[in-house]
Structure 1
Amino acid sequence: MRYFIQFSYFGKAYHGWQNQPNAITVQEVLEKALSTLLREKMEVVGAGRTDAGVHARQMFAHFDFEPISDMDDLVYRLNAFLPDDIAVQGIQQVADGAHTRFDAVERTYEYWLVKEKDPFLFDHAHFVKHTLDLDLMNEAAKILLEYTDFECFSKSNTDVKTFNCDVREAYWKIEEKKWVFTITADRFLRNMVRAVVGTLLDVGMGKMLPEDMRKVIASKDRGEAGVSVPAKGLYLTKVSYPKEVFDEQKG
């Protein structure tokens, strides 16, 4: 039977989500916990990959196992076993063949920055001392919705077959001390959100005009976009699936 596990993590201590030979990852820690509690070597497949230091407020992974009689108890025991920076919210049986990565229809990220030094947000947000123009940044962000090819924001030498993404929302807002950038799309390229934010910050600081975003996108050149902002301010906040994924009777 196939199960989706919903969880969250604070990424500071991890070299991203995906297993790597010489670095600790969230996938490795989660697989080890499941294997210990289920007394069988377990492999989980995540909804995507987050880079080193990136956080997830909502993440999904799937795994296959025999019928689980008490999933609430398994969630409780997992949370007791896992380190404090990883938390499981739930486990649910899903349709046979359901896939956390390929069946996801939408993903949302937030990027947090602060304008004043704050020791309580040091590991949670990027500190920017420069004056920023929120309206200009939102004007430039809106241009993203007009395009689909975002090669200019992709990490160099990536092995993807297409640079196309359907960006459905992109905007900044101020929440108390934080400036929060929200972006939603069907998929994202490696390093894309951090490169987009870096480019928008160039607009906010007056280094670029909002209209220059079109030139950057048209160039398909990573060198034309802004620098990638630090990973510590980036959060995967939502992964969406069609409702039939969660109907195990249709498997």
Structure 2
Amino acid sequence: MTKLSVNINKIATLRNSRGEGKPSVVKAAIDSERFGAQGITVHPRPDERHITKQDVYDLTEVVTTEFNIEGYPDQRFMDIVKDVKPAQATLVPDAPDAITSNAGWDTVKHETYLKEIVEKLKSFGTRVSIFVDPDPIMVEGAYKIGADRIELYTEPYAKNYSEDKDAAVKPYIFAANKAKELGLGINAGHDLDLENLRFLKQSLPQLDEVSIGHALISDAIYLGLDNTINLYLQQLREED
């Protein structure tokens, strides 16, 4: 079964809007795991507009499933990963002021830089995933730099799903097949929701993990966190 990693950035965004510690990201992580999530994802941006550096250290003490820390590999990020040694570090090419991730790495152009980063992260005992567009060339580049997995950037799929889901998923099938051929694990994330997740899973049976935050937390406002997590898990189950 494809694992569900719950991205709790939006919990921190809500907390930070008042600055009074509510809702608690630690409780959100504990409860998400209790309700069935198989991982917790955070993105500790330099401006700390949602997840803070301290949050990461606090979460390290309580996360019992896979802890995934994503971000741009500046020195701050590298220091956090070295200290925390999460199960997975996901590298994204975001500028510090980016609202959210909006493109994958050019793994060909940045091959030398990324290879050094990947080697260092793996020396910490952390699995490394590279955020890439659904392009077999970028997937092959991720393999060449020594990544363990790719994370397919799924915003284009989500945007085009309602118009033509078969066309929308086609590039992801090609990219996933290339990853499988090279022995890379396959993650996916960005704008996945209860409408489009099942079809992606059915189209990419080799999918190891999805990371979902904004849509899942938004659904939880109306449906409750326990119910929402289980609805997402249902979309990832093998049976129809």
TM-score by length of 2: 0.29
Instruction: Flag the structure with higher helix content.
Output: 2
Instruction: Flag the structure with higher strand content.
Output: 1
TM-score by length of 1: 0.28
- Report which of the two structures shows the higher radius of gyration computed on alpha carbons: 1
